[in-house]
Structure 1
Amino acid sequence: MPIVVDIDVMLARRKMSVGELAERVGITPANLAVLKNGRAKAVRFATLAALCEALACQPGDLLRWQADDTADTAGAAHAEEEGSPVRG
């Protein structure tokens, strides 16, 4: 997935445990682990706001976009089949 979750980075910077953050945010440690490990399909803005408040950070400190390598590879292969140049 092209959205990368960096909650573990902020936890390390704040020297905070997953359990402590979950308690401050008001979610279960299991649900926080799903989000932290990038397995969540969505996050509520209220949860994102609570995470930012608890970690004293901005949403961009927790979430970032990263190009999906498989999509780039597939696009390049398709462009070569079509005989068009690949832009990179």
Structure 2
Amino acid sequence: MAPADDAETGIHCRLDELLAERAMTLTQLSEIVDISIVNLSVLKNDRARAIRYSTLSAICEALNCEVGELLVRRVS
């Protein structure tokens, strides 16, 4: 059975933390990866339902990080 639309996935995006560590703004990242600030904000606030591999790769390349540093599983 599929989870309810509003059910928490257990996945947390650490975009805020990674941006802070690199002294980079969401606007700067948006310009580098050519993804709208709105879409990055949705991801940053854990409201994304899906992410393309190409988007994930571009973000990780811009932040010089691995996928596992950006997306982590929340432990209950």
Please give the range of the TM-score, normalised by the shorter of the 2 chains: 0.7 to 0.9
- Are positions 1:43 and 2:51 aligned together? yes
Task: Note the C-alpha offset of 1:65.
Answer: 0.6
**Which aligned pairs between 1:1-88 and structure 2 lie closer than 5 A?**
1=8, 2-67=10-75, 69=76
More helix by share: 1
Counterpart residue type for residue 60 of structure 1? G
Q: Tell which structure's C-alpha radius of gyration is larger.
A: 1
* TM-score, length-scaled by structure 1: 0.74
Which protein has greater RCO, CA pairs closer than 8 Å, 6+ apart?
Answer: 2
Runs of 4+ in 1 over 4 A off after TM superposition: none
* TM-score, length-scaled by structure 2: 0.85
Count of aligned pairs between the two proteins: 68
Unaligned runs of 5+ in 1: 70-88
The percent identity for this pair of structures is 46
Distance 1:62 1:54 in 2: 12
Distance 2:31 2:41 in 1: 13
